[in-house]
Amino acid sequence: MFAKTVLDNGIRVVSNEMHDHRSVSLGIWVENGSRHESAPQNGISHFIEHLLFKGTERRSAAQIAEEMDAVGGVLNAFTSKEQTCYYAKVLDENLPLAIDLLTDIFLHSSFDADEIERERSVILQEMSQSEDTPDDYVHDLFSLDFFKDHPIGRPICGRQETVNRFQRSDFVDFFKTRYRPSRVIVAAAGNFRHDHLVAEMTTRLGMVGDGSEPIAALLDGERKPTMASGVYPHSKELEQAHLCLGMAGVAQADPRRYPAYVLNTLLGGGMSSRLFQEIREKRGKAYSVYSFSSSYKDVGYLGVYAGTSIESAEEVVDLVVKELRKLAAGEITDEELVRTRGQLVGGMMLGLESTDSWMSHIARNEIYFGKTVTTEEICQRIRAVSRDDVIQLADSLFHPEEMTLTLLGDFADDFKLKSLASSH
C-alpha cells in the first residue's frame, strides 16, 4: 500500500507497506547532486556523503558501524548527478534503530577535522581506482565530452584539485544551504506502518527549518545542458581501446521513455541484443559490448560501450552505426519486439523483489513525477509499445553527425584517429 504525507516544513514521507516481508528499507533522499555544484565545489556533495558516517555528537564512526552490524543490517549511501541518498535496511523489529541512526547522522554529524583529512585520502584513492578501471573511466570521460561545460557532465567524485581544497567551513556551509526540508524525501518500504513512520519523522525532522537565503549556485546546474558532438580521443597506455558512442536521449518524465526502454534493450540490453550478437557472437570483435541510457529531469542520453583492440576500434564503431541505422530504417521483427518487452517486464518485476529496490523506486517516482507510478501501469505501458513507436524514436535520435564518440586507449597513431573520425 502506497502512502504520502508532507510534513509542515515540507519534508515528504513516501512509503510502500509490504507486510509479507520481514525487512524494512528506509532512505533519506536529498535533491542535491553533482549537477548542483559550482566548478570549485565539484565533488563536495560526494565528500559530504562520506563525512556523514564519520561521527555525530552522540556516536563515533566506529559506533555507527557497530550498532548496525550488531543487528545484521545495512547502512550505506550514494551520490548521483541529481540526488544523494542515505539508507538502511534492517529487520522490521530494528526499524527504530535505523530511524535513530539515519536521523542522527543527517542532523548531528560533527564534520570532525581529523576525519575530513582521513576521508580526503580515501576519496582520492577512490578516484585513482576509477581511473585505473578504464571500462568505468571512459564513461566519466564520455559524460564530460557529451555535456561540455555543464555541471551535469562533471565527475561525481570531483577532481583532485577541488577535493584537496575543501575545508570544514565549505562542508558546513554547503550542507546548511542545500540540505533543506523542501528538497528532502523520506522513503520507506517493508513491514511497518506509514502513520508510525510519519509520527517518528515529525518528531525527529519536523522542526528543521528551510532557511531563507536563495540557493544561488543551483542556477547554473538547473539550466538545461547543451550536448556536444564529435570525436574525443583520450590517450592512455592500455592493452585495449575503450569507446563510448552516444547521442541525445529522453528525460525522466518524457512520454517517450517507454519506447526508449525498449529501444535501449533491443539495441544492447542483453545477450540476445543486436550489438551483442553482431559484434561479439558473430564477429568476435569485443568481449564486452552493450548499450546504456541515463535520464535526468530535463535531458538524457543513449550510448553504446565497447572494449576492443586498437586495430578493431574503427570497425566496431562502423558496426554500431550500422545497427543504429537498421533500427531507424525499421528493421525490427515482431518476434524481437515481443521478446524485448518481455525481458523488460520480467527484469523490472524481479528487480523489485526486495524492499530496498522498492524504497528507491518510490523515492525516484516522487522526485521525477511527484506521485507513485505503479508496476501495473509501467508493465502496461511497456507492453503497449509498438514497432512504430520504436522506429519513430530511433529515427529521431540516430543522426551520426550529432553523436559524441569518446575513445580511451593508446591512440598515438594519427591515421587511426583520422580513420575513426571519418567513420563517425
Catalytic: which of 31, 37, 49, 119?
A: 49
Phi, psi of 149 (to 5 degrees): -95, 10
Element (H, E) at 3: strand 2-6
Cell of 28: 533519506
Phi, psi of 202 (to 5 degrees): -65, -45
> What sign does the dihedral 317-319-320-325 (CA atoms) show?
positive
Q: Which of 18, 202, 206, 179 is nearest to 106 (CA)?
A: 179
DSSP at 211: -
Q: What are the DSSP calls for 166-187, one per residue?
A: --HHHHHHHHHHH--GGGEEEE
Helix (H) or strand (E) holding 29: strand 23-30
Rounded distance, CA 25 to CA 5, Å?
18
Which residue type, as a one-letter code, is found at position 235? S
- Cβ neighbours of 122 (radius 10 Å): 11
C-alpha count within 13 angstroms, C-beta hemisphere, residue 282: 10
Catalytic site includes residue 115 = no
Indicate the SS3 state at residue 371.
coil
C-alpha 325/C-alpha 318 separation (Å) is: 11
Cα gap 45→172, rounded to integer Å: 11
b/e 141-154 (16+ beta carbons within 10 angstroms → b): bbbbbbbeebbbbb
Residue 401 carries which DSSP code? G
Name 288's bridge partners.
307
d(CA 357, CA 300): 22
Q: What is the C-alpha to C-alpha distance for residues 386 and 16, in angstroms, rounded to an integer?
A: 31
- For the chain, the C-alpha Rg in angstroms (whole number) is 23
- How many C-beta atoms surround the C-beta of residue 274 within 10 A? 22
The answer for residues whose C-beta is within 8 angstroms of residue 8's C-beta and 6 or more apart is 206
Which residues are the active-site residues? 49
